[in-house]
Amino acid sequence: MIDLSVGRLEIDWGKNFGFRDHSPLFQTTDLTEVPYYYVDEDDPQDDDGNYNVITEYKTGLSKPLSKVLDRVDLLGHTLKYARREF
């Protein structure tokens, strides 16, 4: 699984062979511990119906949005596109 996210908001994601390579947005110095979120399979929902989310930190690429915004636009994830989709 691979995703391009801003916080917990996924901009793009993919799995197995069906994903876009977002690594051109980053440099090797951007390698750090990043959060991965999972639904707790043993206890997926609490009494109110909210999903129990597990957060694990693993090695990944991370950089402030302001440093990659122009590159994100080049991938087609523009404000105009977001308004049209949502």
Q: Which domain holds residue 25?
A: 2-85
Domain count, the chain: 1
The CA distances from residue 82 to 15, 40, 62, 71, in Å, are 22, 30, 22, 16
For tokens 């069906």, what's the residue? 18
- Nearest CA among 38, 9, 10, 13 for reference residue 1: 13
Taking only the tens place, the pLDDT of each residue in 33-62 is 999 888 887 877 777 888 888 899 999 999
Q: Is the pTM of this model over 0.75?
A: no
Rounded to whole angstroms, how far apart are CA atoms 63 and 22? Answer: 12
Taking only the tens place, the pLDDT of each residue in 21-37 is 888 889 999 999 999 88
